[in-house]
Amino acid sequence: MQLSLGPIFYYWPRQQVEDFYHQALASPADIVYLGETVCPKRREVHPSEWLEMAAPLAEAGKQVVLSTLALIESRADLATLRKLCDQSGCLMEANDMAAVELLSERNLPFVAGPSINIYNSASLRVLQQAGMMRWVMPVELSRHTLQGILEEVQQLGFAQQVQTEIFSYGHLPLAYSARCFTARNRNLPKDDCQLSCLDYPDGIPVHTRENTSLFTLNGIQTLSGDIHNLLAEYHDMAAIGVDILRISPNSSNTFQVLAQFDRIRRGETLSNQLIASDQEAATFCNGYWYGKPGMDFT
Amino acid sequence: MELVCPAGSLPALKAAVDNGADAVYIGFRDATNARHFAGLNFNDSKADQALEHARRHNVRLFVAINTYPQPHNWSAWQTAVDRAAHLGVDALIVADLGVLDYARERHPQLALHLSVQGSATNAAALSFYQRRFDIRRAVLPRVLSLSQVRQLAAVSPVDLEVFGFGSLCIMAEGRCHLSSYVTAESPNTCGACSPASAVRWQETASGRESRLNGVLIDRFKAGENAGYPTLCKGRFKVEEQTYHALEEPTSLNTLALIPQLAEIGIKAIKIEGRQRSPAYVAQVVSVWREALDHYHNAGECFTPRREWFDTLSRVSEGSQTTFGAYSRPWQ
**Per-residue pLDDT averaged across A16-25, rounded?**
98
Q: Which element (helix H / strand E) includes A198?
A: none
Find which of B177, B212, B215, B244 to mutate to test the A interface (most A CBs within 10 Å of its CB). Answer: B177
Put simply, the answer to whether A222 touches B219 (Cβ < 8 Å) is no
Between CA A7 and CA A18, with CA A12 as vertex, the angle to 5 degrees is: 75
The alpha carbon of residue A190 is apart from the nearest alpha carbon of chain B, in Å, by 6
pLDDT at B196: 94
Put simply, the answer to whether A117 touches B170 (Cβ < 8 Å) is no
Q: Search chain B and give the residue with CA nearest A293.
A: B184
Q: Search chain A and give the residue with CA nearest B120.
A: A97
Candidate from A102, A122, A177 with C-beta closest to B98: A122
Q: Is the pLDDT of residue A273 over 60?
A: no
Annotation: CATH topology of B2-168+250-330: TIM Barrel (3.20.20)
**Per-residue pLDDT averaged across B247-276, rounded?**
94
Query: B317 Cβ partners below 8 Å, 6+ apart?
Result: B167, B168, B227, B228, B249, B250, B251
The alpha carbon of residue A130 is apart from the nearest alpha carbon of chain B, in Å, by 10
d(CA B247, CA A120): 32
Candidate from B72, B181, B331 with C-beta closest to A295: B181
d(CA A180, CA A204): 12
Domains and CATH numbers, chain A: 2-172+226-275 (3.20.20.70)
Residue A266, burial from CB neighbour count under 10 angstroms (0-12, 13-18, 19+): exposed
CA distances from A97 to A93, A94, B260 (A): 11, 7, 27
pLDDT at B208: 96
Q: Is the pLDDT of residue B3 over 90?
A: yes
The alpha carbon of residue A163 is apart from the nearest alpha carbon of chain B, in Å, by 18
| Whether A275 contacts A168, CB under 8 Å | no
Cα of A132 vs its chain's centroid, Å: 17
Put simply, the answer to whether A190 touches B328 (Cβ < 8 Å) is yes
Q: Write out chain B residues lying below 8 Å of A215, CB-based.
A: 178, 236, 245
Q: Write out chain A residues lying below 8 Å of B217, CB-based.
A: 208
The alpha-carbon radius of gyration of chain B (Å, integer) is 20
**Per-residue pLDDT averaged across A219-246, rounded?**
96
Q: Write out chain A residues lying below 8 Å of B184, CB-based.
A: 287, 291-294
Put simply, the answer to whether A97 touches B328 (Cβ < 8 Å) is no
Give residue-wise pLDDT tens across range B267-304. 999 999 999 999 999 999 999 999 999 999 999 899 99
d(CA A10, CA A250): 8
Q: Write out chain A residues lying below 8 Å of B237, CB-based.
A: 206-209, 211
Q: Write out chain A residues lying below 8 Å of B235, CB-based.
A: 209
pLDDT at A274: 54
Query: A68 Cβ partners below 8 Å, 6+ apart?
Result: A35, A37, A81, A84, A92, A93, A94, A95, A96, A99, A113
Give residue-wise pLDDT tens across range B163-217. 999 988 899 999 999 999 999 999 999 999 999 999 999 999 999 999 999 999 9
Q: Search chain A and give the residue with CA nearest B186.
A: A140
Within chain B, which residue ranges are assigned CATH 3.20.20.60? 2-168+250-330
Find which of B155, B175, B189 to mutate to test the A interface (most A CBs within 10 Å of its CB). Answer: B175
Torsion over CA: A235, A236, A242, A248 (sign): negative
Put simply, the answer to whether A126 touches B328 (Cβ < 8 Å) is no
Candidate from A141, A144, A209 with C-beta closest to B219: A209
| Whether A174 contacts B181, CB under 8 Å | yes
Residue A281 binned pLDDT confidence (cut-offs 50, 70, 90): low
d(CA B78, CA B84): 10
d(CA B225, CA B231): 16
Q: What percent of chain A has pLDDT over 70?
A: 96
pLDDT at B260: 96
The per-residue DSSP string of A248-277 comes to ---SSSHHHHHHHHHHHHTT----GGG-HH
Q: Search chain A and give the residue with CA nearest B220.
A: A209
d(CA B226, CA B211): 12
Q: Which element (helix H / strand E) includes A171?
A: strand A163-177
| Whether B90 contacts B61, CB under 8 Å | yes
**Per-residue pLDDT averaged across A234-244, rounded?**
97
CB contacts < 8 A, A to B, total 226
Cut 0.90: pTM above it: yes
**Per-residue pLDDT averaged across A75-103, rounded?**
95
Nearest alpha carbon to residue B180 among A115, A173, A120, A174: A174
Q: Is the pLDDT of residue B110 over 90?
A: yes
Put simply, the answer to whether B143 touches A178 (Cβ < 8 Å) is yes
Question: How many Cα atoms occupy the beta-carbon half-sphere of B103 within 13 Å?
Answer: 31
The three state secondary structure string of chain B is CEEEEECCCHHHHHHHHHCCCCEEEECECCCCCCCCCCCCCECHHHHHHHHHHHHHCCCEEEEEECCCCCHHHHHHHHHHHHHHHHHCCCEEEECCHHHHHHHHHHCCCCCEEECHHHCCCCHHHHHHHHHHHCCCEEECCCCCCHHHHHHHHHHCCCEEEEEEEEECCCEEEEEECHHHHHHCCCHHHHCCCCCHHHEEEEEECCEEEEEECCEEEEEECCCCCCCCCCHHHCCEEECCEEECCCCCCCEEECHHHHHHHHHHCCCEEEECCCCCCHHHHHHHHHHHHHHHHHHHHHHHHCCCCHHHHHHHHHCCHHHCEECHHHCHHHC
Q: Is the pLDDT of residue B223 over 90?
A: no
Residue A278 binned pLDDT confidence (cut-offs 50, 70, 90): low
Per-chain mean pLDDT for chain B: 95
Find which of A39, A82, A102, A119 to mutate to test the B interface (most B CBs within 10 Å of its CB). Answer: A119
d(CA A245, CA A3): 5
Strand B199-204: give its sheet, edge to edge. Answer: B199-204, B207-212, B215-220
Candidate from B98, B177, B325 with C-beta closest to A139: B177
Q: Which residues face A207 on adjacent strands?
A: A213, B237
Candidate from A145, A185, A190 with C-beta closest to B70: A145
Angle of helix A143-156 relative to helix A121-130, nearest 10 degrees?
60
Put simply, the answer to whether A206 touches B236 (Cβ < 8 Å) is yes
Q: What percent of chain A has pLDDT over 90?
A: 92
Candidate from B119, B186, B239 with C-beta closest to A140: B186
| Other Cβ atoms within 10 Å of B82 Cβ, number | 14
Between CA B66 and CA A134, with CA B144 as vertex, the angle to 5 degrees is: 55
Put simply, the answer to whether B219 touches A212 (Cβ < 8 Å) is no
Q: What percent of chain B has pLDDT over 90?
A: 89
The alpha carbon of residue B231 is apart from the nearest alpha carbon of chain A, in Å, by 10
**Per-residue pLDDT averaged across A212-217, rounded?**
97
Put simply, the answer to whether A96 touches B71 (Cβ < 8 Å) is no
